[in-house]
C-alpha cells in the first residue's frame, strides 16, 4: 500500500512543483489582469444655439461619416437675423463711403480755411463713428452667419451614434447633449494594474489581449501611457485617510494600451466597455 502511495505521490508532487515553477516563471515574464475594458473616443454632441429641432437624420447605432448632418434646428429666426445683419452692413457701408467723401472734401477746404476747424472735426468724428459702427455690424453679421450654420448638428468625424436623445419638435437649449457619439478611428484598452505590479511595466512594451466577447480572437498592442495617479484620486468621493478610519487597500493605476493592426471588422467588433484580459510582456 505504501509503495502504491509512493508511486502515485511522487509524480503528483513533481507535477505540482513543475506547475508552480511554470506559473512563477510566467508571472516573471508577464504582468496580467482581467480588470481591463475597451475604450474609444466618446463624445456627447450638442447644439451651440437654442432652437426647435425640425429634423433628425439618424437613429441609434447608425454609422455616420465626418460632416454628415445629424439633426437640423429650425433656421427661421437665425436666417432673419442674418438677413437683417447683412442689410445693416450694406446700409453702413454706404454711409461710411459718403462720410469718407465728406471728410476728404473737408480736408481740402480746411487747407484754404474755407471751413471752420469745428466743421472739419465734425466730419472727422462722423467718419470715425461710422467706421466703428461698420466694424461692429460686420462682427454681428459674421456671428449671425455662424449662428445659422450652428443650426446643423454635424458629425465631427467617422463614427457611430451610440445614443440618440432628441426628436423633431423638441426645443433644445445650447449645450444640451443630443447624441452620444463613438469615434470609429481608434480603439484602446484601459487596464487597471495593482500598484504592486507596476515595477517592471514600461512604455512601449508589447501586450497580448483577449476580449471576453470575442472568444478565440487574440489582439496585440503596446503600452502607450501610465497614469500619474491612482484611480481613487479622481473618483467622485476620494478616500480621506486622515479621518482615523484607514484601511490599507492595494491601489490600481490606469494603464493605456494601444491596439495594433486592427481591421475595420475588428474596430466594429471591439465595442466600447467590453471586458478584456491583458498580459504585458515585461521580460
Q: Does a structural domain hold residue 234?
A: yes
pLDDT for the residue 58: 97
Range of the domain at 103: 75-150
pLDDT(1) > 70 = no
Q: Does a structural domain hold residue 221?
A: yes
Task: Provide the pLDDT confidence category of residue 45 given band limits of 50, 70 and 90.
Answer: very high
HSE of 4, CA atoms in CB hemisphere, 13 A = 1
- Rounded CA gap, 125 and 162, in Å? 58
Looking at per-residue confidence, does 26 or 95 come out higher?
A: 95
Cα–Cα distances in angstroms (integers) from residue 47 to residues 60, 63, 70, in the given order: 18, 20, 11
With H, G, I as helix, E, B as strand and everything else as coil, classify residue 67. Answer: coil
User: In total, how many domains does the chain have?
Assistant: 2
Task: Provide the pLDDT confidence category of residue 190 given band limits of 50, 70 and 90.
Answer: very high
HSE of 173, CA atoms in CB hemisphere, 13 A = 2
Looking at per-residue confidence, does 23 or 122 come out higher?
A: 122
Q: Does a structural domain hold residue 25?
A: no
- Rounded CA gap, 193 and 96, in Å? 68
Q: Provide the percentage of residues in the chain whose pLDDT is more than 70.
A: 87
Q: Does a structural domain hold residue 209?
A: yes
Q: How does the average pLDDT of the chain come out, rounded? A: 88
With H, G, I as helix, E, B as strand and everything else as coil, classify residue 209. Answer: strand
pLDDT for the residue 30: 82
pLDDT tens digits along 194-227:
999 899 999 999 999 999 999 878 999 999 999 9
Buried b (16+ CB within 10 A) or exposed e, 247-260: eeeebbbbbbbbbe
77 contacts 65 by C-beta, under 8 angstroms: no
Claim to verify: residue 277 and residue 189 sit in the same structural domain:
yes
pLDDT for the residue 160: 94
pLDDT(177) > 60 = yes
Claim to verify: residue 115 and residue 201 sit in the same structural domain:
no
Q: Provide the percentage of residues in the chain whose pLDDT is more than 90.
A: 68
Residue at which a domain ends, from 100, 123, 150: 150
Residue 114 φ/ψ, nearest 5 degrees: -80, -20
Q: Does a structural domain hold residue 241?
A: yes
Task: Pick the range with the lowest mean pLDDT from 193-202, 237-246, 252-261.
Answer: 237-246
Q: Does a structural domain hold residue 237?
A: yes
Specify the CATH number for the domain of residue 140.
1.10.287
pLDDT tens digits along 69-79:
999 999 999 99
Q: Does a structural domain hold residue 46?
A: no
31 contacts 202 by C-beta, under 8 angstroms: no
Cα–Cα distances in angstroms (integers) from residue 197 to residues 194, 232, 235, in the given order: 5, 17, 21
pLDDT tens digits along 134-167:
999 999 999 999 999 999 999 999 999 999 999 9
pLDDT for the residue 17: 53
Q: Does a structural domain hold residue 144?
A: yes
pLDDT(265) > 50 = yes
pLDDT for the residue 21: 47
Amino acid at each position: 500500500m505504501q509503495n502504491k502511495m509512493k508511486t502515485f505521490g511522487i509524480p503528483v508532487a513533481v507535477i505540482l512543483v513543475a506547475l508552480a515553477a511554470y506559473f512563477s516563471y510566467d508571472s516573471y515574464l508577464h504582468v496580467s489582469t482581467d480588470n481591463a475594458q475597451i475604450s474609444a473616443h466618446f463624445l456627447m454632441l450638442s447644439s451651440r444655439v437654442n432652437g426647435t429641432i425640425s429634423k433628425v437624420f439618424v437613429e441609434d447605432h447608425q454609422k455616420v461619416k465626418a460632416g454628415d448632418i445629424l439633426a437640423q434646428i429650425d433656421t427661421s429666426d437665425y436666417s432673419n437675423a442674418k438677413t437683417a445683419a447683412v442689410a445693416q452692413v450694406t446700409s453702413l457701408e454706404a454711409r461710411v463711403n459718403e462720410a469718407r467723401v465728406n471728410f476728404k472734401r473737408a480736408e481740402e477746404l480746411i487747407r484754404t480755411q474755407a471751413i471752420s476747424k469745428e466743421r472739419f472735426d465734425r466730419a472727422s468724428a462722423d467718419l470715425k463713428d461710422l467706421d466703428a459702427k461698420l466694424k461692429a455690424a460686420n462682427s454681428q453679421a459674421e456671428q449671425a452667419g455662424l449662428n445659422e450654420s450652428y443650426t446643423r448638428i454635424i458629425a465631427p468625424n467617422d463614427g457611430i451614434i451610440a445614443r440618440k436623445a432628441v426628436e423633431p419638435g423638441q426645443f433644445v437649449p445650447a449645450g444640451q447633449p443630443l447624441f452620444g457619439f463613438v469615434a470609429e478611428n481608434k480603439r484602446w484598452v484601459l487596464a487597471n494594474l495593482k500598484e504592486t505590479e507596476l515595477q517592471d511595466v514600461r512604455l512601449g512594451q508589447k501586450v497580448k489581449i483577449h476580449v471576453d466577447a470575442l472568444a478565440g480572437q487574440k489582439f496585440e498592442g503596446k503600452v502607450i501611457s501610465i497614469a500619474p495617479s491612482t484611480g481613487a484620486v479622481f473618483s467622485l468621493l476620494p478616500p480621506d485617510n486622515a479621518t482615523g478610519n484607514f484601511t490599507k487597500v492595494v491601489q490600481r493605476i490606469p494603464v493605456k494600451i494601444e491596439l495594433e493592426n486592427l481591421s475595420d471588422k475588428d474596430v466594429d467588433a471591439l465595442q466600447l466597455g467590453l471586458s478584456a484580459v491583458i498580459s504585458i510582456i515585461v521580460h
